[in-house]
Chain A
Amino acid sequence: MGQYDQTEEEVSIIKYEDFNEEYILNGEGIDQIAAKVEEFLYSLEMERANVLGIRLSLEEALLRWYDHFRKKGEEPQVEFFAGKRFFRPVIEISLKGESIDPLDPDDPDTDTGDWVGTVMENIGLSPRYAYSKGVNTISIRLNPPRRNPGMGLVMGIVLGLVIGLLGKAILTDAMLEGITTYFFDPVQSVFFRLLQATAGPVIFFTVLTAICGIGSAAMMNKSGKRLIVRFLFFSTLMTVIFAVLGAIIMRAEYISSPILRTGFSVFESLLEFIPKDIVSPFLNTDSPQLIMLAIIIGNALLVLGTQGSRLVKIANQANSVGLLIANWISRIIPLFVALLLAMRILDGTFTRFIGIWIPLVLFHVFIVAALFIAMFLAAKRYGTTVGNLWAKIKPSFMIAFRNASVDSAFGQNRLCCEKRLGINGKLADFGLPLGLVIYMPASTVSLMASTLFAVKCYNLTITSLWLILAMILVVALQAASPPVSGVDTLAYAAIFSRLSIPSEALIMAIICDIIFLFISSAVNQAMLQLELIREADRLNMLDKDILRKPL
């Protein structure tokens, strides 16, 4: 039984444990292994779709072995291992006997096609087959479970404070200068260069694959098109309101200019989004030009349809590589936070960031207020109460909040949509994955909050043009960026570079971003659920009795 076959009360985090067992290679044995595979994968908090894909792929591989040995009248033993090797989760299945590669797509003994290869590719995994000393082994190395980002941040801040304060107390000026020149500056420079080098391709391929994905969703489904428009509209609206409020409350230095001149300046800036060639946007990490290039190429690929399918596949694979690199970068962020924090303490510029509590408080108040307003309007529209709505979304909200991740709450989210909010399962199956990638209004606002605070810290002057450009960049980058660790850091690098904000401000942006991640994950998810209620009602796919029924 999978996680989603359980009742609501039973859906809980399955505790991680290792498996190392032997089974007979027959129908029953294959089912037992499949059950263990599912249990192991759910304990890693893996998404249901990926769990199903891996389970089915391993079943197919085992079936191919079974078919081969059954013809010879044999029922060999199979050893199943699921656990960690060198800190990474691994599934290994071993079988003694002659060499048979069950993953071979050209195996003449099977006519089930190569759907296994496609499924694993889509999950981003590469199962391996090996034959050594008379033993066939299939192995799959999985990504480690997502770490709570708060822990890494706290460790980075503590380490940075310790190094910075100790250094300030112990080191002489000459020593400080030496360490800064020969260690801190080069390491900082390497990190910034890494961000700059990665940001361009990641932004390009993320937007490109998003366009291709959105296009196919929209073409298939009018509801998809409507949802996407609403998602982008509300993200933009919230960002605009926050940008204005934030600029006022944080007392950013603002120079106004006549509306007509601003209008022309905006028009001129938008024209600059068109690149003069396809190489310079990458060389200069010009994010607006990269976005524009991706939009143009993405739409061209949509028009080409099947003729462009190979390029779309390559783009998806390049995107997977980019996101993996972004993920690697996210793992060294705590070190980066420690380093930059120490540097700011040692050079005395840390005091710039004393006011960091302002964007933190402002953001949280704004986002919670926005959610409350959205819930109030939904409650009024559908004849229920805010309290009832909150009680229904609270379990999935709290999972996303605790883990700072919408992925971790997907199961509860899906259950909540259908069983508590009355959203038809088919709409939830379509709208949830689409919305969780595109509709991140709280994350968009968080990008804006950090950007405005960076401006304030470095006493930069903003104009209407700057504000409009900032809003466009923030909305576009956030809409196209999947909720993957490290991608936000790259987005900040791209935005700050384009808006002439010093790279040193990245430390503050990263700290704010990680703190914002908890509430923004939860609010993004809740806002999406409210949008899906509306869309379900529009399509007569909303069971209002379930929605109104108190828990």
Chain B
Amino acid sequence: MVVTKNLEDKLLNVKVEGRLDTATAPELEAELAEVLDKADELVFDLEGLEYMSSAGLRILLATQKKMGLKGGMKVTNVNDVIMEIFEITGFSDILTIE
């Protein structure tokens, strides 16, 4: 998994590529922990994400809750498989997906 972060004017863009599974999820969690406090808004770019596990969903949910208290969070460039996961689990109703 490759995580690319870009923080500009309190807007944090996080691009996640590869597999977000149970083994790699702690890595994303650690990356987010470094910068989340500095951002008011967060945009996840999931264009390169091939696989999402339940651990990945937990991270999205936890991050959504944190950012909900600030400027909010968006998920963008969701491919069909990931979108299907969001729909199956009901996360499509919880997350802001563009």
Contact = CB atoms under 8 A, between A and B. Distances in A.
B partners with A = yes
Interface of A: 1-2, 4-5, 27-28, 30-31, 34, 48-49, 52-53, 56-57, 59-60, 63, 112, 115, 118-119, 122, 425-426, 429
Nearest to B55: A63
B80 A59 contact: no
Interface residues of B, number: 22
Interface of B: 21-23, 25-26, 50-51, 53-55, 57-58, 61, 80-81, 83-85, 88-91
Contact of B54 (A1, A28, A63): A63
Main secondary structure of the interface of B (DSSP, over half): helix
Given A59-B22, A63-B58, A112-B58, A31 B53 contact: yes
Given A30-B55, A52-B88, A115-B90, 10 more contacts: A27-B25, A27-B26, A30-B22, A34-B53, A56-B57, A63-B58, A112-B57, A112-B58, A119-B90, A426-B80
26 contacts: A1-B51, A2-B81, A5-B50, A5-B81, A27-B25, A27-B26, A30-B22, A30-B53, A31-B21, A31-B53, A48-B84, A49-B88, A53-B88, A56-B89, A57-B54, A59-B22, A59-B54, A60-B54, A112-B57, A112-B61, A115-B89, A115-B90, A115-B91, A122-B88, A426-B80, A429-B80
A17 B66 CA distance: 44
B53 A56 contact: yes
Contacts of A1: 51
B43 to A, nearest CB: 20
A128 B21 CA distance: 25
A49 B50 CA distance: 16
Contacts, number: 67
Closest 10 CB pairs between A and B? A59-B54, A27-B23, A27-B22, A60-B54, A30-B22, A31-B21, A425-B80, A115-B89, A53-B88, A31-B22
B56 to A, nearest CB: 10
Nearest to A29: B22
B50 A59 contact: no
A447 to B, nearest CB: 32
B37 to A, nearest CB: 20
Contact of B53 (A48, A53, A59, A115): A59
A155 B51 CA distance: 44
Nearest to B85: A52
Contacts of A57: 54
B89 A59 contact: no
Contacts of A115: 89-91
B65 to A, nearest CB: 8
Contacts of A52: 81, 84-85, 88
Contacts of A30: 22, 53, 55
